[in-house]
Structure 1
Amino acid sequence: MDDPAAHMARAVELAALGLGTTSPNPVVGCVVLDARGEVAGEGFHAYAGGPHAEVVALRAAGERARGGTAYVTLEPCDHTGSTGPCTKALLAAGVARVVYAVPDPNPVAAGGGERLRAHGVEVAHGLLEEEAERVNAAWLTSVRLGRPYVTWKFAATLDGRSAAADGTSKWITSPEAREDVHRLRAGADAIIAGIGTVLADDPLLTARPAKQSARPAERSARPAERSARAAERGAVRGEPLRVVVDSRARTPQGARVLDGAAPTLVAIADSTETGLAADLVRLPYGPDGLDLRALLTELRRRGVVSAFLEGGPTLAGSFVRQGLVDRVVAYVAPALLGSGRAALGQAGVSTIAGIHSFVFEEVSLIGPDLRLVARPGTPKEK
């Protein structure tokens, strides 16, 4: 039976299987029904340069797609890039109706809905738009705002401390939480840290997820989808770009972040003189430090769609203060310190009226720790 909401929900679930390997392309899921309203094919965009979700689903449906309906999370593209237009594939398959959740904001690819209508296909959009927007938030943010989608991650005790009074911070959270962080890192295009973190911890800033780890969406997927997803991830995904925010170029030449295990970009002030042998980007420097918007614009120019912020409290405060955090992932350990470094530094709030409001999207246990996922919003959205 044709249950529109259920079919689009399945398309959203399929789209999530592409998270982490499609950049700089969007994640997209598609479900194709035959003329009787029965599922004939499913597909998702698995990796950049690979077939789009509609093409995968149409191949699975074969002749059963003729006279049927396609449910797609993003408006079918109407341009030729590394692959042909999805509108052409839908028309060739004889699909009679297309329902998509989110209009394509990319002017290069937009217009698919109108193209299909012009050829007699019934088109509707807006079904489960919020859910489809959420799963594709990184790509949509990068297109609409011209900058990467920024996730700020931190780990803290129940009283909000990220380090003890003597500066020690290993390990506040459990091995399970740390493994989850590496999984999230692996899904980002860039990992950002400040010079304070580099000098204090000498981190690698690489993604080292366990091979058996899987996203919730992968765990709920069918076995064949999980196998294909794992193979594609291993085949096409490299290490995220490591980014060090270092206005005065204090990064030691022997720092592990410059070890060549992954590409590294060091952001310095445009007036800083340095002999540091690294890929440098010079940015304007003002009262708030390096121009973080200029940094994000440069990262987007380099193809970064999603960035994972792991800087200390000072850098995190600057990002929050400037409204550049799109998601917060907090790992809270069941422990208390009573003193020590707070997880967040100055965020531009001097009175409760200026509070930065967020809405929880997820609350879950990771080992013994609590993981909280939130996005900017207001309590009215709850």
Structure 2
Amino acid sequence: MPAPRSDADWLAAAARLAARGRPLSRPNPAVGCLIVREGRVVGRGWTREGGRPHAEAAALEQAGDRARGADVYVTLEPCAHLSQRGPACADLLADAAPARVVIGCEDPDPRTAGEGIARLRAAGIAVSLVPLPAVEDSLAGYLTRARFGRPHVTLKLAMSLDGCVALANGESRWITGEAARAHVHASRARADAILVGGETWRADKPRLDVRVPGLGERSPKRVLLSRGVAPDGVKVINSPGAIARLDDVQYLYVEGGAETGASFLAADLVDRLEIYRAPIVIGDGLRAVGGIGLEALALAHGRWTLVEEARLGSDRFAAYRRTRQGET
């Protein structure tokens, strides 16, 4: 007989459920909620398109009376502020009277911060806070904007074994195979916006859309890093730091080119680095990344932590999280 699942197990499951809400939940964070009674899920929910209903409201509606005395697992502290769009989730949970609410992350929003937990405890409900990397990752866009005032940035690089993105003459289609390219399109579908540099835009004329069956409507907004005039349907910013002005963007996907990627790395604005490596050697080609201003090799160490890897056909995928001071 399998061992009972721990609070961390249920929260990790809630974090995976929350992924269904990204990025359509904007401007709200994608939150996941599970209601468990005697080891069985009786209610589940995630933040729906446009931010409503919230995950807790959806899970409580599914659970009904079975929520009373149950355990609730929610990735983000239940909201406590009034809204014309619906009641506060802390109040909904208090009325439902579960035995426990286990929360993966406190809400940095000052309208809720700590108040959601306090309201639940005032209603006689036991509350536990169980910080979990999987939960933080599932809320990365929301938390990055709250902490740093900008979107969460993923930099994608597709390269040869020797770190090239193109031949010396600029030919770059295709470095990776179909499976890797499909993976990239799925990643685009999870972003609010996609950014390339002006040189890439002029040379490659990229569509920057999602070409996966069933996900075409998930194509992100297009952003161009350039000092030129904005093409139709494209927003132009003139520096990496200007991403802070992309108010409706929680997740930004940066695809290229080499100087654009280098500028984001040099400004320390990359939170996740995704590398697709094809089993080819180019030699005298164009490098994947330009200079990023490192003055000593020691400064390159300790910055990136491997968080995911996979084989995609003949290509290899690896994702790294930026490890900043105070993080592990």
What is the TM-score when the length of structure 1 is the normalising length?
Answer: 0.79
Is 1:103–2:106 an aligned residue pair?
Answer: yes
What do the CA deviations read for 1:103-133 (whole angstroms, capped 9, x no partner)? 001112332001111222211102x522210
How many residues align structurally? 321
Mapping for residues 161-310 of structure 1, pairs under 5 Å: 161-211=164-214, 239-247=219-227, 249=228, 258=231, 263-268=233-238, 290=239, 292-293=240-241, 295-299=242-246, 301=247, 303-310=248-255
Aligned pair partner of 1:362 in 300, 308, 311: 308
Which AA in structure 2 matches 1:367? G
Q: Deviations over 1:136-165 (max 9, x none)?
A: 112211121110001000100000000101
d(CA) in 1 for partners of 2:223 and 2:68? 49
Q: Which runs of 4+ in 1 moved over 4 A?
A: none
Q: Could you tell which deviates more after superposition, 148-157 or 113-122?
A: 113-122
Which moves more between the two structures, 349-358 or 195-204? 349-358
Q: Distance in 1 between matches of 2:277 and 2:156?
A: 11
Specify the SS of the correspondent of 2:158.
strand
SS in 1 for 2:264: helix
**Structure 1: segments with no counterpart, 5+ residues:** 212-232, 252-257, 269-289
| Residue 329 of structure 1 pairs with residue 274 of structure 2 | yes
**1:314 matched residue in structure 2:** 259
Please say if residues 361 and 373 of structure 1, whose CA atoms lie closer than 8 Å, have aligned partners that are also in contact: yes
For 1:61, the equivalent position in structure 2 comes to 63
Q: What secondary structure does 1:102 align onto?
A: coil
Task: Specify the code of the residue in structure 2 equivalent to 1:41.
Answer: G
Q: Which residues of structure 2 form unaligned runs of 5+? A: none
Matched, 1:43 2:45: yes
Q: CA deviation at 1:381?
A: 8.4
What SS does structure 2 have at the residue aligned with 1:132?
helix
Root-mean-square deviation (CA, aligned residues, Å) is 2.2
Identity %: 39
The two structures have a TM-score, normalised by structure 2, of: 0.91
2:289 matches 1:344: yes
Shift of 1:38: 4.2
Q: Give SS of 1:310's match.
A: strand
Letter in 2 for 1:317: A
In the alignment, the residues of structure 1 paired with residue 93 and residue 304 of structure 2 have an alpha-carbon distance, to the nearest angstrom, of 40
Greater CA drift, 317-326 or 19-28: 19-28
